[in-house]
Amino acid sequence: MTQQATIDQTKAEAFVGKVLADTTGMTVTLMAHLGDRLGIFKELAANGPATSDQLAGRAGINERYAREWLSAMACAGYLEYDTSSSRFTLPAEHTPVLAQEYGPFFFGGTHQMLVGMLGVLDKVERAFRDGGGVPQSAYHDHFWCGLERFTGAWFENLLVDAWIPAVPDVQAKLQNGVAVANVCSVADVGCGWGRALIKLAQTYPNSRYVGYDIFEPTIAEAAANSEKAGVSDRVSFKHLDVVEGLPEQYDVITTFDVIHDMVNPRGALRAIRQALKPDGTYLLLEINCSDKLEENFGPIGALFYSVSVLYCMSTSLAENGEGLGTCGLPPSKVRELCEEAGFGSVRQLPLENPFNILYEIKP
Ligand SMILES: C[S@@+](CC[C@H](N)C(=O)[O-])C[C@H]1O[C@@H](n2cnc3c(N)ncnc32)[C@H](O)[C@@H]1O
């Protein structure tokens, strides 16, 4: 009996449909990124429906390109098209997703980050064959800028509204300072472009903040961002590999989406443990995933493992690191590694978030 005779035709056709949708998804994402880059979604959100001619004039782009792009976005259902007026509309329901910078549903940063990964595909392919990985320095600026816009939405919408209130003693320290020193000291390890600390410094101006990052170009961006936000009197940023040890003791240490990427996550957790004051708190934000592959099945799991190949695992392996990968720190592994690093308690905070888990960790 041939294999052809035994296959389930309905299943085969459904799978063709799925792959078509995924393939289209990639092209639509590229078009959405162009729309973000050219400011077209924000233009349509601000000034309303437009024909391709009107949009070209308003956005300062070529009409022929505007027309083709608008057609792609209308076919994809991102824009609506009115046949009688030939005008394209960004529906109000789509605005938060495509045009609301740092909003809770904004995808522009995610799209930019993914586009920023495309340039390393050849290096990733080579690593599949020869081992090794892709150094952080190989990534286009779009990756770093997209990452900042992507995680910036967490810090703008969740950090001080949901995450800090979930740890009342940390909130009190940030608000009122701590005994003796009178001021709460906070270190954010793997601070990236600094937006988490900037948000904390804006909300709790009496505390003092320092961000550390191993990737030197992020430090200049973070410093410029804090200057622009007017908080550089209480926030500073330093180039440092945390594994070498933190220079001071802190009341609060944070890592947001950092440990699973690291070359030496165990060494980093040990360094954080040593730098935490005896009554301090370590807030660890990690990926919401399971240690069982089958429990990660679905679109979010597919995104996580793909991003792992395209960045998280591969940048760690580039430096002969542990290469945990995006789904490498599920709750069971967080507990194991924190215990190994000498922490006394690990508590998963009760926040419903399909992407992340926040842990309160104590010495
Ligand atoms: C995925 S990014 C997250 C950045 C930032 N926390 C955010 O949420 O936007 C991880 C960051 O950790 C930094 N990092 C990785 N290993 C580090 C180490 N050993 N010491 C300090 N920073 C490190 C990377 O350079 C990168 O900026």
Per-residue pLDDT of the chain (363 residues), as tens digits, is 455 579 999 999 999 999 999 999 999 999 999 999 999 999 999 999 999 999 999 999 999 999 999 999 999 999 999 999 999 999 999 999 999 999 999 999 999 999 999 999 999 999 999 999 999 999 999 999 999 999 999 999 999 999 999 999 999 999 988 766 678 999 999 999 999 999 999 999 999 999 999 999 999 999 999 999 999 999 999 999 999 999 999 999 999 999 999 999 999 999 999 999 999 999 999 999 999 999 999 999 999 999 999 999 999 999 999 999 999 999 999 999 999 999 999 999 999 899 999 999 999
Q: How far is the CA of 214 from the centre of ligand 1 (A)?
A: 7
Distant-in-sequence, close-in-space partners of 249: CB < 8 Å, separation ≥ 6? 185, 275, 276, 277, 280
**Which residue is associated with the tokens 């020869």?**
130
45 and 125 in a common domain: no
In a domain, 105, yes or no: no
Give the three-state DSSP class for 183. Answer: coil
d(CA 231, CA 242): 24
Q: Are residues 254 and 358 in the same domain?
A: yes
Ligand 1 lined by 106 (C-beta under 6 Å): no
Give residue 259 CA to ligand 1 midpoint distance, Å: 8
Q: What is the pLDDT of residue 4?
A: 59
Q: What was the pLDDT predicted at 179?
A: 66
Residue whose CA is at the smallest distance from ligand 1 atom 19: 241
Residue 107 belongs to a domain: no
Strands 185-189 and 250-256: parallel
With a CB cutoff of 8 Å and minimum separation 6, the contacts of 308 are 314, 325, 326, 327, 328
| One domain for residues 202 and 266 | yes
Q: Is the CB of 155 under 6 A from ligand 1?
A: no
Domain that holds residue 88: 3-99
> Which amino acid type is present at position 318?
A
Same structural domain, 86 and 155: no
Burial pattern 120-138, b for ≥16 Cβ within 10 A else e, equals beebbeebeeeeebbebeb
Residue nearest to atom 20 of ligand 1 (CA): 241
Residues 67 and 183 in one domain: no
Ligand 1 proximity of 312 Cβ (cutoff 6 Å): no
DSSP 233: T
Question: Is 187 near ligand 1, meaning CB less than 6 Å away?
Answer: no
> Is residue 345 in some structural domain?
yes
Ligand 1 center from residue 331 Cα (angstroms): 20
pTM, full prediction: 0.95
Give residues with Cβ within 8 angstroms of 315, minimum separation 6.
133, 134, 135, 136, 261, 321
Q: How many domains does the chain have?
A: 2
Task: Say which CATH number the domain at 310 has.
Answer: 3.40.50.150
Together in a domain, 224 and 284: yes
φ, ψ dihedrals at 52, nearest 5° = -65, -35
- Determine, yes or no, domain membership for 167: yes
